[in-house]
Structure 1
């Protein structure tokens, strides 16, 4: 039997339950992972409360990423053996698989090698954030050395990963934050500039920092009517990539009468994780950055698996800077 987090109805963190379940054995194309750490993501909370792009089927599990070791492989799986240190990347539907447990079965296509020198907690903070950052800024955004990139609501895991990713290729990350509490953390993570949107005019400040030109790329998890302001901070021919919906209001296209030379689109990291070649390149980029120290995941706080509801409450408080990770204990003597 394994311990899994499940929920039977939509709602707040209180609906989450840790249960004993029969994991079974991996089927064709699947891998059984002994989980040591789990990355917590905003998508998990949205799925739990019913605001995600797909609705859960009850009883439902959840969780997109984890770090651990391979315990067993199913028929047809190659390149993996029992005992391999691995990470699990978001490359599946939460209605089919989930990583919130001490032993989980996931598709082999979502399992990637974990560098031996990277501990499980660090590894669990990597994949959602850094694949999203790599996919948006480099794979899809076409960011080049010397380009300016605007990163809004940048104190979360993806925002910090995007700062480091931009730095790694020689681009100039400009981060935004509301208030001053998290300003130094963003600078410490490599932001070239931090704009306090409560006390500074975003467009004016961006133009000052870019010599009046604007940024080549804006990467935004907020959406809503604020995208019209972001568009004013982008240079002609630049791009606006929206990857979240923290603002629940409708998201308009930026005013075409004023910003005609602008490419605007939604970004989802599933474009990368479900394409074997794009995923291979992303994993190579991220692992190289982990090994040379240019990519350093920021873990704000860890919680035990039994405290999963508290972890979700903490995430929803928006108090964190960086990633929230669940640690999983194992009774190896049992």
Structure 2
């Protein structure tokens, strides 16, 4: 029988284990996907450890919010897809019940898209969450335009790297923020127009230098916490801050500083909206076709049997911000 990754209690990577389950037939309007690979995301770690913002029912909880595979079966009334189509998952809102850490999963047909031509399986498994989050925050929320100076925190992570590439595709100017100066060359190579290392520079002063004194038009805060106060000082009056992360568990003080438009953002806000997903898909396909959008995938690709090691790899930071991929077949 097909295998599925589940966990019965919250804790470290070792709480995950493989079980065999019968193949589930897709319901009305659903598809069954034979998974080929999935990516490991910070949300997966939060769900597994019991720190997810949404409740995770135990026991026998599943994991996984993105991945790629092949349509294996169609539910009654499902149109627009056929068996054998390569697809990527665009949303798994009930990941604890139907997550992508499995050899097969069923999802609504509206939650899959044709796999972008030109992407290998490992890249396709790792592209959607980071790029849809960055696109939704910058383009749909902040209305990023050509010439905008965009300040991006946690720039070496998956969403940060995607945000830099998307800014370039739009014609904006991405300014990367990192905690360590040692990451500077890596981030410049990844597409940053400039890099600010907080262990060597004051963010507001550095942004002023890189923007001719005007400040950042858009701030993408993927960290949150007390450090957001420094980002506010780096924004121009009338600019936009999008709070789209949760890497710092400490409380985020009430924003104070220049007048800004401030948005909170979570990817499901748009990935469950079929109209926006259509725009996201068009943008993503164009970027892949032009070579402008390409996910950074860790050199170590894990097998399904080694999913515990994949999570340990993430927790130790051995991926250096690149996406970790696990093959499911």
Classify the TM-score, shorter chain. over 0.9
| Separation in 1, partners of 2:66, 2:247 | 21
**Shift, 1:95, TM fit:** 3.1
Higher mean C-alpha displacement, 313-322 vs 150-159: 313-322
SS in 2 for 1:240: strand
Please give the residue correspondences for 1:1-334 in structure 2 after superposition, counting only pairs within 5 Å: 1-58=1-58, 59-255=60-256, 258-259=257-258, 261-301=259-299, 302-319=301-318, 320-329=320-329
SS in 2 for 1:182: helix
SS in 1 for 2:240: strand
**Shift, 1:115, TM fit:** 2.6
Q: Name the CA shift for 1:83/1:35 in 2 (closer, same or farther; >3 Å).
A: same
| Separation in 1, partners of 2:151, 2:78 | 41
Question: Cα deviation per residue 1:42-75 (whole Å; 9 max; x = unaligned)?
Answer: 0110111111111211210010011111000111
- Quick check: 1:173–1:191 contact (8 Å CA) kept in 2? yes
| Separation in 1, partners of 2:46, 2:30 | 26
SS in 2 for 1:145: coil
- Quick check: 1:37–1:327 contact (8 Å CA) kept in 2? yes
Q: How many residues align?
A: 326
- Quick check: 2:123–2:295 contact (8 Å CA) kept in 1? yes
Question: Cα deviation per residue 1:84-104 (whole Å; 9 max; x = unaligned)?
Answer: 010001242223420001111
- Quick check: 2:141–2:263 contact (8 Å CA) kept in 1? no
**Shift, 1:150, TM fit:** 0.6
Return the TM-score normalized by structure 2. Answer: 0.96
Unaligned runs of 5+ in 2: none
Unaligned runs of 5+ in 1: 330-334
| Separation in 1, partners of 2:95, 2:103 | 17
- Quick check: 2:98–2:106 contact (8 Å CA) kept in 1? yes
Partner of 1:332: none
**Shift, 1:327, TM fit:** 1.4
